[in-house]
Amino acid sequence: MNLTIEQLHRSLELADYICDEELVVTVYLALKLGRPLLVEGAPGVGKTEVAKALARVLQTDLVRLQCYEGLDENRALYEWNYQRQLLKIQIARNSCNDAELEKSLFDPEYLLERPLLKAIRAGRQVVLLIDEIDKTDPEFEAFLFELLSDFQVSIPELGTLKAVHIPVVVLTSNGDRELSDGLKRRCVYLYIDYPGVEKEVRILQVKVPEAGETLVREVARAVHYIRANLDLKKQPSIAETLDWARALVALHAGALTPQNMDRTLNLLLKNRDDQQAVRTEPGLEQLLSRSREAGPGGDAASRCACGRHGA
Amino acid sequence: MDRVTRVVARVEAEGMNSLHHNLAGFIHVLRHLGLRVSVAEALDAYQALTAVDLMQKERVKAALQAVLVKDRAGRALFGLAFDRFFVTPEEKRRRQQLRRQWEEEQAIQQQQAAAELQEAVRQWHPDYQFTGEQVATFARLPSEQRRRFKEIMGRMRGNPVNDPHDLIAQVIQSSLNYWRYYLMKNRVENQPPDAVHTGREDLDAVIAGVAADFYRDPDEQIMHADMQNITGRDVDRMTALIQRLSAQLASRLSRRYRRSRLHRQVDIRRTIRRNLRYGGTPLELSYRARRAHKPRLLLICDVSASMARYARFVLQFVYGLSSAVQEIESFVFSEDLERITPFFKHGRNFTETMTGLINESRQWGQTTNLGAALQTFERLYRPLLKSDTHVLIVSDAKTIAPEKAAGLLAVVRRQAREIIWLNPVPEREWQHLPGLAAFREQAGMFECYTPAHLEDILRRQLKKI
């Protein structure tokens, strides 16, 4: 990677990923030091998007491993194509000697590559996204830790396969479970918080270019006000802000009004209690006027101290 | 000259202001502020610094943060430490000077306090030796309290008893103990909170400054506030925080399944039946269903008089957990034990649940008898304990007959997987609580009087649940 920090910043923005300098420096270091990048933050702040944008910047493939409860090595690394092997045995019965048959059964053509092996065996450097690592079991995390240490894997029948091109690894976590110190120690760490008003305005301008300037600013301020002042069960993410803005554009809204907010609120808040809470206290009219009063920076008079909101 | 000698010579030639020196100093500060930085991360930090322009402060900050801080909670501390550590030499000197002045003032105050104390007991016990802690406590008292303390000593002078020496010593000891505890629980303004100092003047100035700044942030204040001192508007904020923490654990308990130790096993009978159409060749395998394993949690909460000021938040926590996760068994106790699990099963809100609970329970605000409570538990609810039950006790451990209670706790321990005890009394006070050592033999005990403690316990101690 021969990009400078400035070039990386520009490239990420060209790949439609709006980011601040802290994020760029962190990603740059992960690339420069050849370390996995561990990205944490609330759902919907753009963690997965970092990996996608990186793949676009590096003009390479994105290999994604979606983690879930009970994910094991077979599903993550490799599996032998058991059914094909059985068929081969049936076909080859009595037609060749046993030793040859056994040898041919464990040929790489019978190997089912799962994302981790695919990233290791890729012909060029790819971006390996290990999404929602906190959903896996600690045992799998330990296995992953080993794999990420030396990027090689031993397959008993084939021997050790070593990565020709070390992949760029991005791990994401919603913080559901504390990750092991060992894994964290190996990674460069990035925490993505909800964006400020200006950053969200820029994101909206890039992702929803059809929305007018007034609408974009009002949407960003209203969302910022909600995140900073209301203690909801689920804070609106960037993805939901975008959906909301698109819905408002579809209704030909040039600016926010209590009426169009009421009709589209279900795109911003995905929980009935939260919708009810916003409609009753502070109420849509109040919400709109308070978010407008908060000014361009979006700093409301009071800040929620529920501990869920970043500075 | 070998390579190591050459490097050492170069570093020494650069003196205290080399990059290595500054980085090592900074990492030292972070560790003393409670952040865990490994040697590998320190090396990464050095490498990171070689990759960015050192003249751009924000980039240096972002680079160091990326490799030295691996959780969200540490970022605020890191930011403050960075801003205080990496300053111009003049600013550094000015801060050191301020700290030196502060230390001198403290020393003078201590001397005055020692003299005042000595004077107060001179008539009865001219050689009485006050400990450093006692002098420090006395020095920190408001002037009104100091005057009252000396007055009490004066009154004793006019009322001599057979052996005034011992009596005075006891009065002083207990009175200063009380004040030490009081001052600690109600941190006086301008008193920097706990941070472990290094002994190096320049680094300690940074650590003290960071610790003081950190607790000025309103979010951090509430995170680190003693729950019993919360009043007014902060009650709602604290309630929201506790709700969030209980929701975190609840979602983990309801969603997370510990994997069975068994590996996937082929179900032979189903596999053969399924593959009859292939002439018995097992092309499609059927596996035995993996047993989903949900951990059991049993909560036992102290609602006696001494816990009254915590009770609201403790119950908020219990409510958050119990109403979200069906498998939790909850109990309250003071003089005896009562099962409160059924109160959480009706889907009622917190206020309704609590009203029902308070009206029907007889345990609120009584004295504490953990032994009696555990005896009732053993008699009536023993079957609830399984080898995979995690028992969570919330209590200040101030109980009558602690030895008996500890014995019964050992019985519970043998039947359960583990006992986790959340104690709202600060750890440094534990040595003064009778019987607590015996409880600690049976339970993992953690101080827990702020939301920050609770969050830390949930993250670290309960992560295996």
| Residues A102, A155 within the same domain | no
Q: Is residue A251 part of a domain?
A: yes
Question: What is the structure's pLDDT at A308?
Answer: 40
Q: Does B320 touch chain A (CB under 8 A)?
A: no
| Residues A109, A119 within the same domain | no
Q: Taking Cα atoms as reference points, which of A152, A290, A199 lies closest to residue A13?
A: A199
Structure tokens at B20: 């290595």
Q: Report the C-alpha gap between B86 and B82 in whole angstroms.
A: 6
Cβ distance of A33 and B218 shorter than 8 Å: no
Question: What is the structure's pLDDT at A210?
Answer: 92
Q: Report the C-alpha gap between A209 and A246 in whole angstroms.
A: 10
Q: Report the C-alpha gap between B333 and B328 in whole angstroms.
A: 16
| Residues A101, A180 within the same domain | no
Least-confidence region, from A5-9, A88-92, A216-220, B54-58? A88-92
Q: Taking Cα atoms as reference points, which of A120, A37, A35 lies closest to residue A77?
A: A120
Q: Is residue A302 part of a domain?
A: no
| Residues A143, A58 within the same domain | yes
| Residues A124, A33 within the same domain | yes
Shortest CB distance from A191 goes to which of B40, B75, B257? B75
End-to-end Cα spacing for chain B: 56
Helix/strand/coil for A37: strand
Boundary (domain end) residue, out of A113, A138, A166? A113
Residues of chain B with CATH 3.40.50.410: 241-258+293-464
Which helix H or strand E contains B297, and what residues bound it?
Answer: strand B296-302
Alpha-carbon dihedral A290, A295, A297, A302, rounded to 10 degrees: -40
| Residues A101, A59 within the same domain | no
Phi then psi for residue B317, to 5 deg, are -65, -45
The letter for the amino acid at B420 is I
Q: Taking Cα atoms as reference points, which of A52, A51, A49, A9 lies closest to residue A28?
A: A9
Q: Report the C-alpha gap between A70 and B157 in whole angstroms.
A: 74
Shortest CB distance from A306 goes to which of B38, B240, B284? B240
Q: How confident is the model over A242-260, as pLDDT tens digits?
A: 999 999 999 999 899 999 9
| Residues A266, A287 within the same domain | yes
- Please give the CATH number for the structural domain made up of B241-258+293-464: 3.40.50.410
- What interface predicted TM-score (ipTM) does this complex get? 0.84
- Taking phi first (over 0 means left), then psi (-120 to 50 degrees means alpha), and beta for anything else, what does residue B397 get? left
Question: What is the structure's pLDDT at A169?
Answer: 96
Q: Report the C-alpha gap between B84 and A88 in whole angstroms.
A: 69
pLDDT band at A297 (very low <50, low <70, confident <90, very high): low
Please say whether the beta carbons of B418 and B448 come within 8 A.
no
Residues facing residue B293 across a β-bridge: B258
Annotate B80-98 with DSSP letters as a single string. HHHHHHS--HHHHHHHHHH
Q: Report the C-alpha gap between A67 and A114 in whole angstroms.
A: 12
Q: Is residue A308 part of a domain?
A: no
Q: Say how many domains are in chain A.
A: 3
Structure tokens at A53: 């944008």
Contacts of A300 in chain B (CB under 8 A): none
How near does any CA of chain B get to the CA of A207, in Å?
Answer: 27
Cβ distance of B58 and A90 shorter than 8 Å: no
Per-residue pLDDT of chain B (465 residues; tens, 9 = 90+): 566 666 656 655 656 667 888 899 899 988 888 888 999 999 999 999 999 998 899 999 999 999 999 988 788 889 988 988 888 878 877 877 887 888 888 888 888 888 887 887 777 667 777 777 778 778 878 778 788 877 777 666 555 555 566 666 667 777 777 776 666 655 543 344 455 667 777 777 777 777 766 665 666 666 666 766 666 666 776 777 777 777 767 766 665 444 444 456 777 888 888 888 777 778 888 877 665 556 678 889 888 888 877 777 777 777 777 766 667 888 989 889 999 888 877 667 777 777 887 777 777 778 889 999 999 999 999 888 888 888 989 898 888 888 889 999 999 999 998 898 988 888 878 887 778 888 998 898 988 888 778 877 777 766 565
CATH number at A185 reads 3.40.50.300
Q: Is residue A272 part of a domain?
A: yes
| Residues A152, A269 within the same domain | no
Query: Edge-to-edge strand order for the sheet containing B337-339?
Result: B337-339, B328-333, B296-302, B389-394, B418-423, B444-447
DSSP state of B54: T
Q: Is residue A311 part of a domain?
A: no
Shortest CB distance from A185 goes to which of B40, B59, B75? B40
Cβ distance of B281 and A86 shorter than 8 Å: yes
Q: Is residue A286 part of a domain?
A: yes
Question: What is the structure's pLDDT at A157?
Answer: 82
Cβ distance of B218 and A305 shorter than 8 Å: yes
> What's the predicted TM-score (pTM) here?
0.71
Structure tokens at A161: 């396969």
| Residues A175, A242 within the same domain | no
Q: Report the C-alpha gap between B362 and B367 in whole angstroms.
A: 12
Q: How confident is the model over B409-434, as pLDDT tens digits?
A: 999 999 998 898 988 888 878 887 77
Percent with pLDDT over 70 in chain A = 94
The boundaries of the domain holding residue A175 are 5-77+114-192
Q: Report the C-alpha gap between A42 and A44 in whole angstroms.
A: 6
Q: Report the C-alpha gap between B55 and B305 in whole angstroms.
A: 59
How near does any CA of chain B get to the CA of A260, in Å?
Answer: 30
Please report the beta strands in chain A, taking only residues with DSSP state E, as ranges in sequence order.
Answer: 37-41, 62-66, 78-80, 111-113, 127-131, 152-155, 159-162, 168-173, 188-192
Question: What is the structure's pLDDT at B190?
Answer: 39
DSSP state of B259: P
Q: How confident is the model over A279-296, as pLDDT tens digits?
A: 887 888 888 888 888 765
| Residues A133, A155 within the same domain | yes
Q: Is residue A216 part of a domain?
A: yes
pLDDT band at A188 (very low <50, low <70, confident <90, very high): very high
Shortest CB distance from B41 goes to which of A137, A175, A185? A185
How high is the mean pLDDT of chain A? Answer: 86
Contacts of B76 in chain A (CB under 8 A): 311
| Residues A129, A156 within the same domain | yes
Q: Which of A189, A194, A233 to mutate to test the interface with B (most CBs of B within 10 A)?
A: A189
Q: Taking Cα atoms as reference points, which of A54, A7, A48 lies closest to residue A30?
A: A54
| Residues A72, A90 within the same domain | no
Q: Is residue A309 part of a domain?
A: no
